[in-house]
Amino acid sequence: MDRESSVSRQRPAWANDPAEARKYLIQHVRNCQIKECSTCSKLRDYIKRMNDKTRELVDAAWHGRAADVATLLNARPYRNVNAPTKDGLRLTALAAASMRGHAAVVTLLLTADADVDWARASDGVTPLIFACTGGHTEIVAKLLAANASVDRADDEGWTPMNLAVDQGHLDCVELLSSYGASRTWPHAHPNDTAEHLAEHQGHGDIFAWLSRSRSWSTALHHLELLTPESARTLLRAGADAYAGEDLTPAERARMLCASGEAIAGSAAHVVLEWCEPWSRKTHKFYPQAVHERVKELMLVGQWLKRRHQPYITIPFEVWEAEVVKSAVASERWGPVGDDEDDAIAHLGWR
């Protein structure tokens, strides 16, 4: 047995987690009959060291000292990035950085697997709620991209959107909306809807935006917030450019492009290009299932071209421009047959 394996075996189960160490200490002290017990002493020392490390990390995060945070995260024996301090604030490092607006520190902590949905035991406040209350849009974006729960409320029922509207942070409101945040809450008027709250608080810009975007039901509706690559990702994942009863993403894209608000190459232009019929140019927007179907149909076209049968007179260019395009538009995603008869029957030629 090598030395590393031997050392690993000798380490007690509580050595990797201060919370487990506390549980073990409580249990041990209850059963311990020895006045000067070495195990009790080791456990107390360990918990104290871990608490000191937690305070040090949270303090560095609170003050935005990214270099110190990186050093502490890489140091041993620090192991629990999600441990809260024992002071009055009871914050984790991520919660502290989110509250104070230190985006670089938030990035480091998320990379270290900080719990994005941690909630303070005393009030249920999450890092996202802290960031939205402070109007830290860059941090809100990072937390949402890390799959923070967009509608998770604190113990009083206040959601991130609720607080962003209340505090007048339009950028945060737009961003939360693009992730599907609810605009209605089970509270008394005027805190029952985002529009009512914005109007009550005198945030005219937020009220106007909420009114204008009332029917935007998907992430793709929020074209001004999307990068071209984000729009492509959504479309490849199956986002519907024609979703919505009042105003679809496709209609919004046409309006933005026609008015000149959307510059060339923007997300709006990406949506308009995607709305065009299938072609080699628009192929990149389609999901993998369509890519597989197009590949199969292209092979069928090449095979038919080589057969030179008298009843097959369609040139390959026409096959691609008309048959393949029609098959993609028809959304017939069943498997293409292995022979000529199955392929023709599948395409509706018989």
Q: How far apart are CA 120 and CA 129, in angstroms?
A: 11
For the segment 180-208, what is each residue's pLDDT rounded down to a tens digit? 999 999 999 999 999 999 999 999 999 99
For residues 79 and 57, is the Cβ–Cβ distance under 8 A?
no
Half-sphere exposure of 51 (CA within 13 A, CB side): 13
* Beta strands in the chain, from DSSP E residues, in sequence order: none
- Residue 252 in tokens: 């919004």
Half-sphere exposure of 180 (CA within 13 A, CB side): 8
**Which position has the token pair 């949270």?**
58
For residue 325 the two structure tokens come to 């395009």
- Residue spans of the domains in the chain: they are 115-204, 286-346
Q: Is the peptide bond before 190 cis (omega within 30 degrees of 0)?
A: yes
Q: What is the pLDDT along the chain (350 residues), one digit of tens a residue?
A: 444 444 444 556 655 565 666 676 667 666 676 666 766 666 666 665 555 567 889 999 999 999 999 998 887 545 678 988 877 789 999 999 999 999 999 999 999 999 999 999 999 999 999 999 999 999 999 999 999 999 999 999 999 999 999 999 999 999 999 999 999 999 999 999 999 999 999 999 999 999 999 999 899 999 999 999 999 889 888 888 999 888 999 999 999 999 999 998 999 999 998 888 878 877 877 777 788 888 888 888 888 777 666 665 677 788 888 788 777 765 533 333 344 344 333 333 33
In CATH terms, the superfamily for domain 115-204 is Ankyrin repeat-containing domain (1.25.40.20)
Contact 137, 175 (CB under 8 A): yes
Burial degree of 7 (CB within 10 A; 0-12, 13-18, 19+)? exposed
Task: Write out pLDDT tens, residues 124-142.
Answer: 999 999 999 999 999 999 9
Question: What SS3 string covers 295-312?
Answer: HHHHHHHHHHHHHCCCCC
CA distance 181 to 159: 9
